[in-house]
Amino acid sequence: MPLLDKFQAVAAIRAGLGGDHNDPTGVVIEEILSATEGRVAGRRTILAGTNNYLGLTFDPACIDAGKRALEAQGTGTTGSRMANGSFADHTALERELAAFYDLPYGLVFSTGYAANLAVLAALLEPADAVLLDADAHASLYDGCRMSGAEIFRFKHNDPDSLEKRLRRLGERSANALIVTEGLYSVLGDTAPLAEFVSLKEQYGALLMVDEAHSLGVYGDRGRGVAEARGVLDQVDFTVGTFSKSLGAMGGFCVSPHPELDLFRYVARPFIFTASGSPATIATVREALRQLQAQPQLRENLWRNAHRLYDGLQSLGHQLGPEPSPVVAVRIGARDDALRFWNRLLEAGVYVNLMVPPASPDSHSYLRCSVSAAHTPQQIDAVLEAFRGAA
């Protein structure tokens, strides 16, 4: 088949998403009015699908830090850290992230996706075994594939399913890596990390937790689901992103293992890509300070999350299994979800449309993400839009 022919199928899928409707994959936010509002198709729109959990994208201190870095260090690093050298802010951020987690080692990557690729490809070799939660993010799956390791999936958030697979691996389980997330980004459910830690200890495996959506959201100090479950000190590799609660772009890994520092020499997604720009790194450093200095952001976030979850539940919607800043409304059929999503957008509310295979099962979802910066009135307006669109 000619190389380009396969795109005809992609074109057909895209055409099916558009038609008389807006294309959910092509939304343009014409003007960003605040952390929670933008202009879409000329209409003032509440942004309820941005992962801007702490609402820090317009934080004055973060913006000021970015401006100062831009003026002092220029627009970009123009290369990789291995070839061109690190800027002092990159290494400072690594030290600050490690200190935030009370761990000795930290490593910063250009994106969260690259962080997962890099950590998994550095850790694993073709002879190794990795046990991956069935609903794990594509970046985790891609990292496992990139490593060449044998990949065994266990049922989502199911310790029994994980235990069976560890047992089936026999002696190899002592050299296996368990990979899970903290907060799952589509349904807003959290991993049973205490049970996973217990299994990791029992079988002698290592545990990697992606806290991309839970950094700044869970735990007394905002360090994620592992902190909230009291097992943070038993996680071998915690990875995360700067593009959600920290309002910028980039990724990281922290670990108690000194080998993390050697990943710089073997992790291709670290070695062969340009490093984060000075302004980006500066805003992340400031956002990390704000995350720690303003615990009220987390309180606001959870107040809003419960307001939306409870409100949607009372409207009769079928939601994810637990209240969280990710609130998924199950619609079922893709075309119904597409129509519902369009009506919400026309009512001035932007959420995410998740359809198979991007959704974790055969159903379609309208995924909302709540921000600390949402006002109660905005949450109520989102609820009203859901009421009207049903």
Partner 1 sequence: MNTAPDDIEPRIIALLTRYLEPRWTADPSSRVTISGDTGLTSDLTLDSFQVMEFLMELEDDLDIAIDMNRLSDVHTVRDLATVAVQQTA
Residues that bind partner 1 (CB under 8 A): 132, 134, 144-145, 150-155, 161, 164-165, 168-169, 356-357, 360-362
| Closest separation in Å from C-beta 164 to partner 1 | 7
Of residues 74 and 148, the one with the C-beta less far from partner 1: 148
Of residues 14 and 168, the one with the C-beta less far from partner 1: 168
Q: Strands, E, within the chain: which ranges?
A: 29-32, 37-40, 43-47, 105-109, 129-133, 150-154, 177-181, 206-210, 237-241, 251-255, 318-319, 326-332, 349-350, 352-354, 364-369
Give the H or E element holding residue 162: helix 159-168
Of residues 42 and 357, the one with the C-beta less far from partner 1: 357
| Closest separation in Å from C-beta 166 to partner 1 | 9
Of residues 149 and 246, the one with the C-beta less far from partner 1: 149
The four Cα atoms 28, 32, 34, 40 give a dihedral, to 10 degrees, of: -40
Of residues 98 and 129, the one with the C-beta less far from partner 1: 129
| Closest separation in Å from C-beta 293 to partner 1 | 43
| Closest separation in Å from C-beta 168 to partner 1 | 4
Question: Is residue 240 within 8 Å of residue 112, measured between CB atoms?
Answer: yes
Q: How far apart, in whole angstroms, are the C-alpha atoms of residue 240 and residue 213?
A: 8
Q: Are strands 349-350 and 43-47 parallel, antiparallel or unpaired?
A: parallel
Burial class (CB in 10 A: 0-12, 13-18, 19+), 160: exposed
| Closest separation in Å from C-beta 153 to partner 1 | 6
